[in-house]
Structure 1
């Protein structure tokens, strides 16, 4: 990795040097080196100015400089990248961020930062239906050539990344900790696969642990990278809605998936729709927004055309298209005795058209 990153690393690793003040300084500085060469020239708090002087005096013995060298050494490994504000790989979309990161840590394919991206965010505790919709939407968008960008969390985030990878598409996971830390632990294998096929990204230096305040800030990166944002299942008080708020402030279009009004996890999506977000009725709503060719992903009607469905089986699939439900609810909806549903349900399950979960049946 080129030594040109070293001044930026030394800058971003200075403790308590907020991004707002950093961006104010960029109006005065020609280069990051100038910050260290003439610390008395710039409008700085006394504590920061003293740190700069100490770094000049101690050189490589100063803790900040030693830490910067450690970060630089990490980037010498293949597929490890440090991307500063002045690098060609730095995302063009970040021009809309007033508090854009000065430095990014990346693992995988940094060229994806320049690709057309759609952000997909939602509940960590998504319903089976929410996960299914996330997987279908992500897979079709990835097959249409869009990069799927999300936050690497459990639930909707993980489902969107997994679906993009399954489709041999592109995906970016923006983390709220250093790239050398796996959080959440359950996603270790997923992160490894993303690093091999897509991109792991963070604005946090190596060894930075996940802290509650990191994730709201991480969300502005997701929306900042994305050309449009899809929200799938979000409670009214949730980190997902902070991502949507960032997207609104950045002038991005938002698509929200509607759902059952009795489920609290859908309230945030409905609120966004009331406030002007696009109602996401079909994945092609997003594809047309990007003016791409329709997805190559199969249409469900085409999927079932080779499998002869009885009227009862067609009714079962129509019921489950709205939400997953147990056999008792299906019997009530279809006005059929439960015993009459057992064989049709088994045949549909064997055909791969639906799945049985502890909470009932849902479409595959």
Structure 2
């Protein structure tokens, strides 16, 4: 995109008082970004009113008539001049097709990393920022399994479930997309800077917010529609009853996306949001295979997790298969495995190392282990 046209898009994104739907309305009524900035005051007002039924704010029309202002779009242009950064706009052929379907899709996205990742089949994984260790392990395990099956994992780079989902996808060698609630010149939370760098190398960081936008609390519920809008479905892992993750789930349902929820203990406050979603019609899932079964018709190119797990376990000896059958997605101590398997400690330790190297189990704190792949008939 040439610099003049890019400046027009950046100006449109920064127009005050226009709103996401107002920007879309002008583009749809007038046809091109150039036509928007070439229109008269009357033409802009008429186009806006025809699409929204409301009169535009005078300051919005004044900004459009004034055209690009170097002092306003300069930070954006400087950021975009760096490698692996781009602006994906509403009229680009590779604008994410699923996101284009939602009513309040942004007219432009700032992207750092691989813009092609935005158009790939995606599954959003969201949940509590204060997730339990088990919740984080579950998020990572689902992300690993689904990434290995070919899905790009989308989340919000927050603490807890979001970070675990991103890391799980990266550990599996898959791709992941992080949708930010601020300008991409920042990383929030700051402790996720290294994770953000890894995501940019193996996926994409995305934001609708211009460069320099701070992480205001109100931005995060707004960005949630993009997390759900990019994805074919949303999986909620641990959420309290008043959780931002439930906003994402509600938006996903309104957008016609599949909503999945992982059940938890009836005694845990972090399970109540998921249980409420299940009562409202969300699909209860216990392993990644359940997710892919539901998405199969939408994603025929994504292979079955069950078939992958069967293949990975097919060459195990009898002792290893016995140990694998004892493990679930909940942590189990090595002492319990020794007791229930009847195998010696040395043999159990050796088998667990083999299973971990093959990606079938993960180690947790306190010498515990759990499955990293869904249970299958052949196990």
Task: Bin the TM-score by the shorter chain.
Answer: 0.7 to 0.9
Indicate the residue corresponding to 1:2 in structure 2: 2
1:363 corresponds, among 365, 370, 379, to: 370
Q: Structure 1 pair 173/354, CA: closer, same or farther in 2 (3 Å)?
A: closer
Maintained 8 Å contact 2:334/2:369: no
Counterpart for residue 32 of structure 2: 31
Q: Give the conservation status (yes or no) of the 8 Å contact 2:237–2:274.
A: yes
Cα drift, residue 254 of structure 1: 1.1
**Are 1:146 and 2:147 matched, yes or no?**
no
2:59 alignment partner, SS class: helix
Per-residue deviation at 1:194? 0.8
Q: Do structure 1's residue 243 and structure 2's residue 248 form an aligned pair?
A: yes
**1:179 matched to 2:188:** no
Distance in 1, matches of 2:240 and 2:363, equals 26
CA distance 1:300–1:363, shift in 2 (3 Å)? farther
Quick check: 1:286 aligned with 2:291? yes
Return the offset for 1:14. Answer: 1.8
| 1:346 CA displacement | 8.6
Once the two structures are TM-superposed, the CA of residue 170 in structure 1 deviates from its matched residue by 1.3
Question: Are residues 1:48 and 2:60 paired?
Answer: yes
Give the root-mean-square deviation of aligned CA atoms.
Answer: 3.2
Q: Aligned to 1:104, what secondary structure does the other structure show?
A: strand
Q: Answer whether contact 1:5 1:83 (CA < 8 A) is retained.
A: no
Q: Write the mapping of 1:213-232 to structure 2, written as runs, cut at 5 A.
A: 213-232=218-237
Report if aligned partners of 2:313, 2:321 keep a CA contact under 8 Å in 1: no
- Looking at structure 2, the residues matched to 181 and 297 of structure 1 have their Cα atoms a distance apart, in angstroms, of 38
Pick from 319, 324, 346 the counterpart of residue 308 of structure 1: 319
> Helix, strand or coil: the match of 2:129?
coil
Q: Distance between the aligned counterparts of 2:193 and 2:131, measured in 1?
A: 20
**SS class of match (1:81):** strand
The secondary structure found in structure 2 opposite 1:241 is helix
| 1:72 matched residue in structure 2 | 77
Kept in 2, the 8 Å contact 1:174–1:201? The answer is: yes
Cα shift readout 1:210-237 (whole Å, capped 9, x = no counterpart): 1111111111001000011111111111
Alignment deviations for residues 288-325 of structure 1 (CA, whole Å, 9 cap, x no partner):
322432237646993995473799x789x45xx36448
C-alpha change, 1:299 and 1:12, in structure 2 (3 Å) is same
Q: CA deviation at 1:79?
A: 0.9
| 2: CA distance, partners of 1:119 / 1:88 | 23
Residue among 247, 257, 261 paired with 2:262:
257
SS in 2 for 1:194: helix
Query: Which structure 2 residues correspond to residues 102-117 of structure 1 after superposition, within 5 A?
Result: 102-117=107-122
> 1:15 is matched with which residue?
16
Gaps of 5+ in 1: none
Count, aligned residues: 345
Aligned-partner Cα distance in 2 for 1:215–1:355: 33
Residue in structure 1 matched with residue 164 of structure 2 by the alignment = 159
Q: How far apart are the structure 1 equivalents of 2:260 and 2:252?
A: 11
